[in-house]
Amino acid sequence: MNNKMIRLAALVVFVMAVGSVLNAQDIVKQMPTGFDTPRVSIPHGKIDTISYNSKTVGISRKALIYTPPGFSKKKKYPVLYLLHGIGGDKKEWLNGGKPQVILDNLYADGKLAPMIVVMPNGRAMKDDRAIGNMFDPERVQAFTTFEKDLLNDLIPYIEKNFPVLTDREHRAIAGLSMGGGQSLNFGLGNLEKFAWVGGFSSAPNTKIPEELLPNPEEAKKKLKLLWISCGDKDPLLIFSKRTHEYLFKNNVPHIYYLEPGVHDFKVWKNGLYMFSQLLFKPLDPSTFTNYHTGIGDPASTNVPNAQYPQILPDNRVVFRIKAPDAQKVQIDLGKKYDMVKDTSGFWMVTTDPIVIGFHYYSLLIDGVSLVDPASLTFYGMGRMASGIDIPEPGVDYYLPKDVPHGQIRSINYYSAMTRTWRRAFVYTPPGYDEQVSKRYPVLYLQHGGGEDETGWPVQGKTDFIMDNLIAEGKATPMLIVMDRGYATDPTRRRAEVQPGNFRAAMANNAFPDVLIKDIIPMIDKNFRTIPDRDHRAMAGLSMGGFQTFQTTMTNLDKFAYVGGFSGAAFLEPDTDITKVFDGVWADAESFNKKVKVMYLSIGTVEPDRMYKSVNNFHLLLEKAGIKHIYYESPGTSHEWQTWRRSLNHFAALIFKE
């Protein structure tokens, strides 16, 4: 390539780099495989060695300087000071990180604002070679001394001898490991000097957050970019994480980027690759959280020792899957999220904020729906599925506490109605096995469509809810029976059902008869129940709520307490309620005497059809004079947090003498 062509290419690179400023809001992705490989046919920057007089150390010291493709002494450039680790020197980045290759390639792709990069020796002592015991106190102290050398000697030398912009808005500092700690310490400690600060796998020399940034408000005003990144398997991750947590708590805009990796140049090269693309460009701090990965806690629904999915403080979720040969990977959490593949074959994505509560999800690999191997599995959506539980801040009614605990027992029984063996789960309250003469009321509690008898014990956390209510004296000790809401009577001819006709489908379901004829007698026989209607309740969620009304309204001789959570009678607005269920609500006074508690609930952000159905039923009951309790769960949808809240509320109301 002749000189004229080189100059032209350099001009094109410069124009593209300037143009990239306009696209600075684009989210920078992880460095692709092979990006640190030199390209022959592009303009290249230049690395030189410089010597400067260090009054701090009392000797002439050396550093490396990278000038970009098309460098001109007639143009002024911003500067990035790039620092090495405890075992390195001014050449560590050059030998292990290939910064000139990465930066050249980024310039060629039009992704960098032109800048000068200075790589000094961060060990400010007379013998600054990377030899001997790196952890010798004198050598460690030299990394702290470098702050004076940098500010008083190196920066003035660069500004005197190179065409650079000398204001803080055009000066950045970043480093790896020990140099990452230096960068955070020096950059945040001298905000009048640096507006751009980055720490890659910052080491234990990083000051504790309160010393690192005692005035968060000043940082908010002065920082253009604060970048913290680390490998998720790095033993030094704790130092990056604690800094992030302090920044997050104090609302200091920053990027915290956790990637698959350890304490090595794979992570640090990617840190330079991503950080450098953001430098010296207009940035929107509101986009910074799009980079935040791995800053929360592993979900409680993960398999043991699985670090992902992780729940971030704002309830976004980070998913990570290893599928090196996959072409497309998505997370289906109601909304589908495209995952991005990194150089090691891991796919990652950060979701939008997810509403509190339990949610089923699927992993889609090349269009095939699978469970996430990092998640426990739950029966939902008509199959085994992955699930994630987003905790509700400040709420512990459904969490285990140091209180007496009941048990959930698995009971197999033969159903004469279905001519099959079935399974029920039975919650027995604390003291059930000790107080052998005591008898208990019973709540029959049903799951929703696509779920089974494991729903309430596992997703619903029934035992913890009841243990806590009983311990606080809010609920009467009771048995709770949770059975599968699907049943087929082999002697009954099944009617043809059109798709979407829920009511007709329920007519084919023999569960109400199974409950009355098989389950209740079995429970009364095998457990110490009080076997009368005044001590028997039924409730359910969604489909189970419909089944509850379908069963109880035609068997009021057996039930005195009724609850429908996000599901009830599914009546049209113009329904004459006095004619439903053989006129059970025609005589409001008589009904109100028989039923001690009738309870309806719905989440305030449930799908419109579901919300209107339950709310309309509530209004019809009010109009007919039917006493009932109506509860709207604030901020929850058609999911388990609505139903956990409902059980917590309903269980405290029933069996009160």
Domain CATH for 371: 2.60.40.10
Q: State whether 384 and 490 are in the same domain.
A: no
Integer Cα distance of 607 and 604 in angstroms: 9
Integer Cα distance of 63 and 84 in angstroms: 11
Say what the pTM is.
0.65
Report, in this order, helix, strand and coil percent for the chain, each rounded to 5: 35, 25, 45
Q: State whether 428 and 569 are in the same domain.
A: yes
Q: State whether 277 and 354 are in the same domain.
A: no
Q: State whether 98 and 137 are in the same domain.
A: yes
Confidence band of 307 (pLDDT split at 50, 70, 90): confident
Of 192-196, 526-530, 605-609, the one with minimum mean pLDDT is 605-609
Q: How much is the pLDDT for 232?
A: 81
Domain presence at residue 180: yes
Q: State whether 438 and 573 are in the same domain.
A: yes
Integer Cα distance of 35 and 29 in angstroms: 12
**Helix 640-651 and helix 462-471: axis angle, to 10°?**
30
pLDDT at 641 over 80: yes
Q: State whether 212 and 334 are in the same domain.
A: no
Domain presence at residue 288: no
Q: Specify whether the CB–CB gap between 555 and 563 falls below 8 A.
A: no
Q: State whether 165 and 65 are in the same domain.
A: yes
Domain presence at residue 397: no
Domain presence at residue 223: yes
Q: State whether 9 and 134 are in the same domain.
A: yes
Confidence band of 11 (pLDDT split at 50, 70, 90): very low
pLDDT at 233 over 90: no
pLDDT at 491 over 90: no
**Which residue range forms the structural domain that includes residue 229?**
3-282
Q: State whether 260 and 335 are in the same domain.
A: no
Q: How much is the pLDDT for 292?
A: 62
Number of continuous H segments (helices) and E segments (strands) in the chain: 18, 27
Model confidence pLDDT, tens digit, residues 178-187: 999 999 999 9
Q: How much is the pLDDT for 82?
A: 98
Question: At 53, which CATH number?
Answer: 3.40.50.1820
Residue 462 structure tokens: 């029934």
- Domain tally for the chain? 3
Q: State whether 308 and 213 are in the same domain.
A: no
Of 10-14, 560-564, 599-603, 626-630, the one with minimum mean pLDDT is 10-14
pLDDT at 28 over 50: yes
Model confidence pLDDT, tens digit, residues 427-438: 999 999 999 999
Angle at 472 between CA 471 and CA 477, to 5 degrees: 55
In 542-607, the DSSP E strands lie at 561-565, 597-603
What are the residues whose beta carbons fall under 8 Å from the beta carbon of 496, sequence distance 6 or more?
Answer: none
Question: How many CA atoms, within 13 angstroms, populate the side-chain half-sphere of residue 307?
Answer: 14
Which has more confidence, 295 or 267? 267
- pLDDT above 90 as % of the chain: 80
Show which of 256, 282, 308 is a domain's final residue. 282
Integer Cα distance of 413 and 309 in angstroms: 38
Q: How much is the pLDDT for 164?
A: 98
Domain presence at residue 400: no
Q: State whether 259 and 208 are in the same domain.
A: yes
pLDDT at 19 over 60: no
What's the whole-number average pLDDT of the chain? 91
Q: How much is the pLDDT for 21?
A: 37
Q: How much is the pLDDT for 503?
A: 52
Q: State whether 360 and 423 are in the same domain.
A: no
Domain presence at residue 398: no
